Amino acid sequence: MFIENKKVRWIIIFCSIALALYIALPNFYPKSDFFSGKKKINYGLDIQGGIYLVMKANVEEAMHARMQKKISILKSDFKDEEIKFKSIEFKKKSLSKIIIQLSDNNKDKVKKTLKKIHNDLQILLEKPSSLELSYYEASLSIYKKQVVEQSIEVVRNRIDAFGVSEPQITAQGSDRILIQLPGVENADQAKELIHRTATLNFRPVYEEVTTDTLQKWVSKVETKNKFSLGTEKSIRLAKNAKIHLLKYRQYIKQINRNLASKLPKNTKLIFQKPPNAKTLEAGRIPFLIKTDNDLSGAYLETARVGSNEYGKPQVNFRFNIQGQKRFAKMTAANIQKRVAIVLDDIVQSAPVIQEEINSPTARITLGSAGDIKETLKEANFLATALRAGALPVQLEQLEERTVGPSLGSDSIKKGKLAGMIGGLLILLFILGYYRGLGVVANIALTLNMLFIIAILTSLQATLTLPGVAGIILTIGMAVDANIIIFERIKEELAKGAGFRSSVRNGFSQAFAAIFDANITTAAVCVVLMYFGSGPVRGFAVTLISGIITSLFTSVFISRSILEMKILNQSKRT
């Protein structure tokens, strides 16, 4: 167990100390350029303040929508194949089963069609006049996972727009989403952002009023009623300004209300961000869109990022059958006219329709002159938003924990103070009680702290308040290992053994007890990590790191130091 070669031993010790110092040091220099790129310990939200949310993705609802879609597709496919049927519907109690009531003696034909076109369905139950179908279990669970993943993607995109540094958005269990936003104070704003659903619409442009005229109308209304579009920040800063700054939604509402008498019936004024403008606030092109003819994102099946023949990013999407029909109808009715692709009331693009498009696929080319990376990011966002539109999943909030930054800094200050006082008390006590041996124990303890910090930093584990408590406790428990060893050494000395053999025997006899005790505690930690949530898990991580480091410091390092001492003594004599 113990390495006998002294050189190797000291090389290991010095290397590990150097490595630990290298990893742990950035934590002690909060604002140094030298360490700027290095990792630091992640403080939990209870320490640095922030928001912790657990959301439930309403997977059942998404399943329901998907089944509904599937049933309508089945119906139209059967019509195309000229298969007669009485009805296709959900089984009453279970939403995951479809029942087809057959009308003629055409069961084999139905089964053949199903196999050909809908091989993702399996036949559960066959009766003379009906078939009971369901998705395969595997495909169901994949779908559920997809729903959650897509929700996470959407949430992440929205949070990114919020500008939180290092947000953590992860799946938890089969239908939960855990959102951690360190440093964010305004929970309401964050939640609003998360819950906002992107809606996609295709709407014909009302072209009888020119853009110039619309522009004039808008500026007239703005000056008359003293309002304008503002960013989140400018709205917050300019509370008492002469011009009332509004968020985009309110802004649109206000404009449409004020222009109600001028706007043609069934139209709405919305805006597009011109390609050379950075934000919508900096420049906006008004569009008048028809509200009585639309094709919403609910008819989409998929949306993906691709690129067109010039290498520009574009979003390819695919309509379902109903969507395709509606799209064909809309394009046929608007040949040589423009149809706006509208996302969250913002016009993304408004291509001129050349001919009727009767295909399930369509695309939005993002032809802005800007940075290709930016455009790609935008394309990704759009694709995600479109998919979100195609998969409406409600997020229900299950858990919220918000810690204001003042409480966080207070508690870390006090936690640190308590840790230092506790540690100091122990160090002094050990020194007073064991004298010379105490110095060795204290070196081991100090190194122990350094190693814990290094491990926590390199693991990028999140240090929560219970975690701090765990560290404080580790100090207490690490002392125990030293005490066990020293008591053994003292026993050996009392028996009249020499110092050298006492140290040797003391360590080897103590080892079993230390090892057993630590391993069992580690086992408990593993259970905690598995079953615990959030703070408890953080506690387990620190404790387990502490166990590893205290085994290393109190057994390996202390012994090496003591043996060196013995060597020096024997050299002197």
Partner 1 sequence: MIKKQINFLKLTPLFLSISSLLVIFSFFIIAKNGFNYGVDFAGGTEIQVQFNQPVTDASIRQFLSTQKIKNFNVQSFDEKNEFLIRLDALSDLKLKKLTSNFKSTFSSKGFVMRRVDSVGPQIGSELKKKGLLALFYSLLIILIYVGLRFDYEYAPGAVICLFHDVVITLGIFSLLQREVNLQTLAAVLTIIGYSLNDTIVTFDRIRENIALYRDKTFSWIINSSLNDVLSRTILTSLTTSMAVFAMYFWADGVIRDFAFTLGIGVIVGTYSSIYIASPLVQFITKFKKT
The residues that touch partner 1, with contacts defined as CB under 8 A, are: 46, 54, 187-188, 191, 397-404, 406-407, 411, 414-415, 417-419, 421-423, 425-426, 429-430, 433, 465-466, 468-470, 472-473, 475-477, 479-480, 483-484, 487, 491, 509, 512-513, 516-521, 523-528, 530-536, 539-540, 543
**Shortest distance in whole angstroms from residue 388 CB to partner 1:** 20
Neighbours of 450 (CB within 10 A): 19
Nearer to partner 1, 362 or 484 (CB): 484
Beta bridge partners of 343: 200, 346
- The set of residues, in sequence order, having a beta carbon less than 8 Å from that of 393 and lying 6+ positions away, is 57, 58, 59, 61, 62, 147, 150, 151
Nearer to partner 1, 278 or 414 (CB): 414
Pull the structure tokens for residue 511: 């080892």
**Shortest distance in whole angstroms from residue 484 CB to partner 1:** 6
**Shortest distance in whole angstroms from residue 398 CB to partner 1:** 4
Cα angle value 68/72/75 (rounded, 5°): 140
**Shortest distance in whole angstroms from residue 60 CB to partner 1:** 14
Nearer to partner 1, 77 or 491 (CB): 491
Is the dihedral angle over the CA atoms 541, 547, 550, 552 positive or is it negative? negative
- Tell me phi and psi for residue 131, to 5 degrees: -130, 135
Beta bridge partners of 306: 314
Beta bridge partners of 395: 57
- The CA distance from 382 to 387, in Å, is 8
**Shortest distance in whole angstroms from residue 176 CB to partner 1:** 9
Nearer to partner 1, 54 or 366 (CB): 54
Nearer to partner 1, 167 or 466 (CB): 466
**Shortest distance in whole angstroms from residue 551 CB to partner 1:** 13
Pull the structure tokens for residue 521: 């505690």
- The set of residues, in sequence order, having a beta carbon less than 8 Å from that of 297 and lying 6+ positions away, is 199, 200, 201, 386, 389, 390
Nearer to partner 1, 86 or 249 (CB): 249
Nearer to partner 1, 291 or 397 (CB): 397
**Shortest distance in whole angstroms from residue 427 CB to partner 1:** 10
User: 3-state SS string over 137-187?
Assistant: HHHHHHHHHHHHHHHHHHHHHHHHHHCCCCCEEEEECCCEEEEEEECCCCH
The residue type found at 211 is T
**Shortest distance in whole angstroms from residue 475 CB to partner 1:** 6
Nearer to partner 1, 320 or 518 (CB): 518
Q: What is the largest CA-CA distance in the chain?
A: 109
